[in-house]
Structure 1
Amino acid sequence: MFPRTTATASVVTSASGYDLSGVRSQLQAAVAANQPPGLSLSLRHRNRLIFREAYGRLAFGVPFTTESRVFLASSTKLISMAAVMVCVDRGLIRLDDLVGAYLPAFRDMPVAGSTQRANPTIRQCMAHTSGMRGASAALDNPTITLEQAVAIIAQENTPLRAQPGT
């Protein structure tokens, strides 16, 4: 079983009457079975933190902490779309804006098997029709910066696998 790597708040068992020892044992058992290899959980009651712990390890043997960033893949689609639409509603971006207007590494990207260059839009990214490949294993490194992540994604998607919109 992996040791607890971060416990920034202890389980409240006396005054508040919470006994979350069962939660702790379930989390430890899940990590011990590598389902998943690491996790963190924070619980609040009436805006008071009553439980915050992390267990396991990330890629490269890095201890999983309550501050660890993880690759959630499809779990983030709904949240990402909601955040993008809030920006659209506020007039900050448009769905048909070119991604390259915000991230220059994505301007005039070559397309595989073609002499054409392409400029994916935000809409195409959100609809998974941008021509880009799937996620990169390099992004599993928890020490990577946003700038490094953008550079890796751009490099691994050059050339685009298909013309955007197809």
Structure 2
Amino acid sequence: MDETQLSKISDHFQAKTATGSRAGYVMMIRDGTGSEYVRAFGYRDLASQAPMMLDTEFRIASLTKPLVSAAIMRLVDQGELRLTDPVVRYLPEFADMRVGVSLDESGNLETVPAKRFITIHDLLSHTAGLGAGGQPEYPANTVYAARYGEFFEQNSVAETSVWIASLPLVFQPGEQWGYSFSVDVLARIIEIKTGHSIEDALAELVLSPLGMDHTYYNMAGVDRSGVATLYITGDDGNLVPFEGVPIDTIRYPMSGGGLISTAGDYMKFLEMMRRRGELNGQQFLSQASVEAMTRNVLPEAIRPIRLEMNMMGAGFGLGFGVITEETGARSLLAPGDFFWAGATDTFAFVSPSRDISAVILCQYWPTPQTREWDTPYDFVDMVSAAVVDR
């Protein structure tokens, strides 16, 4: 990696903390030679002036999803699950799903029966038809938007699965891509298949083998003394703590975005993925499963994927956004690179062709007026520019 470019990355993100755009960051970049670039900038907590440290813990939000997806793929490797399994085999609440198709003159949702059962493959690829209120072009997302707060009122993963199944699908299974509650449903399947809580199952399947000792679920009552303060932008434009954040008060382990972790812990996961499933000389996750997680499975008609931003021009695999030749990256990512982002300003990616893994963690919750995606784009472009031919 080019040292001059790496220093520019430091200068860039240090400047964002100096101007008050963000309180602080921790970043880690590693290449296939074992070279590592690790930096911490700014403050873990502005009021106390506690500095950001390399072992600072973060609410990683949707960076949780690839970890839970990897747990499912380990069960697939072990013959405990098949990607083609209908979800109803494990969760009967998904037996009679209906799909929202339009709103009548009174604003009521009109529905039709789902054409087929949802599969585990659908859940992993976010093509199940479940919603989360973030894609208003689907009529059924009006229901999700109205009832979204109920998601945080559930008491267990089992209750959450039943609640999700009570909502209409936003499209027919397999016919579109839509970011959703699907990984929370996968967590319940993991509980059913292992006979353990998702906390214990994820620890056994992924966290403990990878040595991710500082990764755990964020729930009401958890000790967050080592976690960075989560900020929003106040009315005066300055950062203020986000009081009463729902992900701190939730009563069950939310697998779509509920993990707390560190940059060092998450890098262990990324490095396993970069090495195609290898861990300490052993095959932790099969190469076939790694390839399935990081190979686009979406037909051309429904990509690139889109949330509030265009998600780098990517397709999607069984757990990650994936850059493809067909869509073309809208960043300096290369075809075959895979990534994901979290709503708390967290981002991670792996570039197999450039032989690097990278993660950047912050604690910032965007509002509709301040929803920016500067961190992912700046980070991927500047890190990609740091790679030189050997």
Taking a change above 3 Å as real, the CA distance of residues 145 and 31 of structure 1, as seen in their structure-2 partners, is: farther
Identity of aligned residues (%): 31
1:120 and 1:31 map into 2 onto residues whose CA distance is 49
Residue type of the alignment partner of 1:29: L
Change in CA separation of 1:146 and 1:130 when aligned onto 2, cut-off 3 Å:
same
Give 1:82-121 correspondences, 5 Å limit: 82-113=70-101, 115-117=112-114, 118-121=116-119
> Is 1:162 the counterpart of 2:171 in the alignment?
yes
The superposition leaves residues 100-128 of structure 1 with CA deviations (integer Å, 9 ceiling, x where unpaired) of 11111111311223643331111011111
SS of equivalent residue, structure 1 residue 79: helix
| Structure-2 residue corresponding to 1:140 | 152
- Cα contact 1:71–1:140 (8 A) shared by 2: no
| Pair 1:81-2:69 in alignment | yes
Partner of 1:10: none
Equivalent residue letter for 1:164? P
Query: Alpha-carbon deviation of 1:137?
Result: 3.2
Q: Report how far residue 31 of structure 1 moved.
A: 9.9
CA distance in 1, matches of 2:47, 2:89: 43
Amino acid at match of 1:125: L
Length, aligned pairs only: 107
Q: Distance in 1 between matches of 2:151 and 2:72?
A: 21
Q: Residue type of the partner of 2:77?
A: D
Within 5 Å, give how 1:1-166 maps onto structure 2: 26-29=43-46, 72=61, 74-113=62-101, 115-117=112-114, 118-134=116-132, 136-141=148-153, 144-155=155-166, 157=167, 159-166=168-175
**Deviation of residue 148 (structure 1)?**
1.7
Please tell me the residue identity of whatever aligns with 2:44.
L
- The question of whether the paired residues in 2 share the 8 Å contact of 1:87 and 1:93 is answered with yes
SS state at 2:46 partner: helix
Residue 162 of structure 1 aligns with an amino acid whose one-letter code is: F
Q: Secondary structure at the match of 2:170?
A: coil
The AA in structure 1 aligned to 2:74 is V
In structure 2, list runs of 5 or more residues that go unmatched.
Answer: 1-39, 50-54, 102-110, 134-147, 176-390
Cα distance change on mapping 1:29 and 1:110 into 2, 3 Å? same
Letter in 2 for 1:116: P
Task: Judge which range, 128-137 or 107-116, deviates more.
Answer: 107-116
Taking a change above 3 Å as real, the CA distance of residues 129 and 31 of structure 1, as seen in their structure-2 partners, is: farther
Give the equivalent residue in structure 1 for 2:307: none
Q: Is the contact between residue 100 and residue 119 of structure 1 (CA under 8 Å) also seen in structure 2? A: yes
What amino acid is aligned across from residue 145 of structure 1 in structure 2? S
For 2:152, the aligned partner's letter is: D
Q: Equivalents in 2 of 1:147, 1:77: separation in Å?
A: 18
Task: Please tell me the residue identity of whatever aligns with 2:157.
Answer: L
Cα-Cα RMSD: 3.4
Greater RCO, 1 or 2 (C-alpha within 8 Å, sep 6+): 2
Tell me the TM-score normalized by structure 1.
0.52
Residue 120 of structure 1 contacts residue 130 of structure 1 at CA under 8 Å; is this kept in 2? yes
Q: Which TM-score applies when normalising by structure 2?
A: 0.24
Q: How far apart are the structure 1 equivalents of 2:91 and 2:48?
A: 37
CA separation of 1:31 and 1:126: change in aligned 2, threshold 3 A: farther
Segments of 5+ residues of structure 1 without an aligned counterpart are 1-22, 33-42, 44-50, 53-69
Moved more, 98-107 or 129-138: 129-138
Structure 2 CA distance for partners of 1:78 and 1:93, relative to 1, 3 Å: same
Hey, what's the Cα distance between the residues in 1 that align with 2:60 and 2:70?
18
